[in-house]
Chain A
């Protein structure tokens, strides 16, 4: 069955490989794709089309359309034609009810008259109650592959980010020549090739390259040289998926069956890029042009030469290019009966090919084209017509090799913003302007002579090397002159469609878009290709522009010929090859920061939450109200890991000026050993951060920021002083220092046990800052703060000492029953004190005054240009802002849920944080409300979600709720 002895084979017929299709085993050989294995076993129908459920077969071998999209091992839309078969693969046809051969939905093909272009928009909405029903059917009918909602992707995925001097896209003769030429200058070269082997259009052809070598031999010779070059890194089986400006190239590589990865995402930064992606074939438009049994020239030829599978017994060829003649001759020599070769061209064929056709007595028709295939599930007969349509002939066959010509794969160029223009000579879209440091080579330039292909590659490679600074001007000139002497771009065929009406001439296979549909769309005013694409869906299926990409603009221009339209290229978008989400995701490491105390907090039963980049312990028990944690701080002593706090050192002669610029307070008024609480605003006067500042010595400060702002604080300082040329330095110590907050009436007793310094209230009062060591070893910066409203020490120590510090304090606190408290307990404690958390008690638009923090602002600071103060002055007194107020619920047992709104007939504000307070036995909270509702004593109605009209009642009360004079934190 297999043509086992061909020297061109890329399969190993001696090694078998079995795939399971619809419950039956099919025997393939090593190197087969899923589709070639099935085809070798007589499978002709691989699936059904989207709308009409037409049978679809093998048409190309590079995945240009959805014809052979199948489900493989539960993964939908796998392109069977270029997916390597693996032993035991389970394969199923898509979009069928029944099987690919017997699809119960097959009748849809007769209903095409019901579905002209854009029929959805014009139907199914009258009467209105029809639409919800129709919607369900539309959804069911749409889509190709099926995937289970709980599908779990198997496999290993990785990613690499190489850099290169020159990146060559395409491992055909031009790409290989380019890579070799660039490598001459000792540059680092990367070569990307989509197929599992190098060789491109030489790889399977047995025509002569020169007196000694055939094309495939030449291809393998070049490949050997490329692979042997130490400075060329070759990625085979690695389709290029994207190219972005500044020559960022992306690709993915499919791993070998037993490799370290299944697919690997590759992102390359290259100085210069050579695009040598070659051509695909331009489909021929005629009636039933996608019947199983119709395939492209390269598909038929490679099926035999690369895979050893005879594509049919008796073939008709309808082609427009010498490669078609070459394939007919070669397949004839391999034993296929060629019923007829119809060539669109009237002239221009290579004389040796014509002679070879004649020698083999192959009937040859010039100026003829396939007009229709016959046969329900497979081609049985072909009608050929003369180009103008007047004469017809019919041939029985089981294979129609059809191709209008070639079309360059320009996706990489359009993505890179090259300008393309229709070139009348070649019939290609050719670049008229390339981005900097990008070059094209090979058949995509219209050159088909093997020597020209290689020479254009060499020239492009040398030019790319020059981009990287190679001193090769002479070599470039020589290569340029050499190329100029070789055959140039060839004339291409202009024929767009066979002389037919086009009811079943498919311009896009994936979306079942016919020539007739395109005419309908244009008649309706959709007159540019991009609009036609949107209206008819042509080119938006799994194969994207592969099939319609060239014919759509050509046909559109021709249909509008009266207005003198020239073909406009359609837009190619990434990914140039459909790419798995899993492949793009790659190795995907979740990166987060953990505090130095992370392990200890876990040991103590911490329930962690991701807060920004950090993992923090939110609870230490199942009780989400944190009653025990809260009361332990109020009545005893607790410890909190505050290491995520932003911590900065600011020093230099102009450090104070910088502080004055960003903080609203007067930072010149700081005394040694005391902390200053202040806030930063943005240009709108809205508060973006609050924290404390300590003056360590002349020109040396230490300050903290909220966790969320730590990453941006240095930028903020530098941005707002960027015109000043001040001499100061800011150092982010956030990760270098950890923080323990020890709070509660017994906090001093615990701490005093482990420090030698005097930390009595007199020696180290509230608002103080001290430096001392814990157990004579751990250097600590200590602050007396009152965020939770109790006697409290915030201890800052080097991250490396944090575990020891924590364990020392835990040990010392044992006799008092010291225990952890988490972020939520802190949240309740600080809420009782009405200490705000930005982003919770503030919106984006909340300014310093709205929060009642106006006392932080020193209006008398002069010449500091403090950020935010212009806006604060302008906005001061505007009643049109939400103000922060304290609220107390009428029902002391029932706090509203956070985020509930405050309403009367309209919305007046919302509840930021509210809790049933264990310390106070009241339900209290903070809310942002309109100024007119902000007066103490105002009664508020609270509207909770799902409240069903029953509102809760609250009253505005003075803040804070807990220990208003603040005695407890001054103990």
Chain B
């Protein structure tokens, strides 16, 4: 596989310029009322989707921006939206 990622600033670039930042789980939950279980869900648990997932990337060897893309984990290709298009 040869991953490419579309950086919102720099455009489509070699995937190795980027750092993966995890599945998109939304902003951090409010600390009030957090139980160890709910915190663990946010901090550690993953959906491990076999298909399209929304995820975070950082253009670490480029402009440094964090952004989300949709990627199909079955093909390792970036896709336009949350639906499987194949």
Contacts and interface: CB of A to CB of B under 8 A. Distances in A.
Contacts of B76: 245
A147 interface: no
Interface string B34-57: 101001000100000000000010
B75 A245 contact: yes
Interface residues of A, number: 19
B82 interface: no
Given A715-B64, A718-B64, A718-B66, A684 B77 contact: no
Nearest to A865: B28
A436 to B, nearest CB: 9
A719 B1 CA distance: 26
Contacts of B10: none
Contacts of A865: 28, 31
Contacts of A871: 39, 43
A412 B41 CA distance: 42
Nearest to B12: A246
Interface residues of B, number: 22
Contacts of A723: 27-28
A246 B75 contact: no
A718 B34 CA distance: 24
Nearest to A868: B43
A244 interface: yes
A716 to B, nearest CB: 10
B34 A870 contact: yes
Could you tell me the dominant secondary structure of chain B's interface residues?
A: loop
B42 to A, nearest CB: 8
Contacts of B21: 719
Nearest to A714: B64
A715 B64 CA distance: 7
A483 to B, nearest CB: 28
Interface string A870-886: 11001000000000000
A683 B21 CA distance: 13
A670 to B, nearest CB: 24
B80 to A, nearest CB: 13
Given A715-B19, A722-B56, A246 B64 contact: no
Interface string A413-424: 000010000000
Interface string A694-727: 0000000000000000000011001100110000
B66 A719 contact: yes
A246 B58 contact: no
Nearest to B76: A245
Given A245-B77, A715-B19, A719-B58, A870 B39 contact: yes
Given A715-B58, A718-B64, A246 B43 contact: no
Interface in A720-738: 722-723
A871 B77 CA distance: 35
B64 A683 contact: no
Contact of A246 (B4, B19, B36, B56): B4
A718 B1 contact: no
A801 interface: no
A838 interface: no
B2 A248 contact: yes
B65 interface: yes
Nearest to A732: B64
A712 to B, nearest CB: 8
Contacts of B65: 718
Interface in A630-689: 683-684
Nearest to B66: A722
Interface in A201-255: 244-248
A871 B66 CA distance: 24
A96 B60 CA distance: 54
A925 B76 CA distance: 49
Interface string B4-23: 10000000000000010100
A729 to B, nearest CB: 10
Contact of B3 (A246, A247, A718): A246
A473 B28 CA distance: 51
Contacts of A722: 56, 66
Interface string A246-285: 1110000000000000000000000000000000000000
A684 B39 CA distance: 10
A870 B2 contact: no
A245 B1 contact: yes
Indicate the member of B1, B2, B36 with the most A CB atoms within 10 Å. Answer: B2
Contacts of B4: 246
A819 B77 CA distance: 56
Given A865-B31, A871-B39, A246 B66 contact: no
Nearest to A682: B43
Indicate the member of A248, A719, A870 with the most B CB atoms within 10 Å. Answer: A870
A869 B39 CA distance: 11
A683 B25 CA distance: 14
Contacts of A247: 2
A714 B59 CA distance: 11
Contacts of B28: 723, 865
A955 to B, nearest CB: 36
Interface of B: 1-4, 19, 21, 27-28, 31, 34, 36, 39, 43, 56, 58, 60, 64-66, 75-77
26 contacts: A244-B2, A245-B3, A245-B75, A245-B77, A246-B4, A246-B77, A247-B2, A417-B75, A714-B64, A715-B19, A715-B60, A715-B64, A718-B58, A718-B64, A718-B65, A718-B66, A719-B56, A719-B58, A719-B66, A723-B27, A865-B28, A865-B31, A869-B31, A870-B31, A871-B39, A874-B36
Would you list the 4 A-B pairs with minimal beta carbon distance, nearest first?
A248-B2, A244-B2, A683-B43, A723-B27
Interface of A: 244-248, 417, 683-684, 714-715, 718-719, 722-723, 865, 869-871, 874
Given A683-B43, A718-B64, 14 more contacts: A244-B2, A245-B1, A245-B3, A245-B75, A246-B2, A246-B4, A714-B64, A715-B58, A715-B64, A715-B66, A722-B66, A865-B31, A870-B31, A874-B39
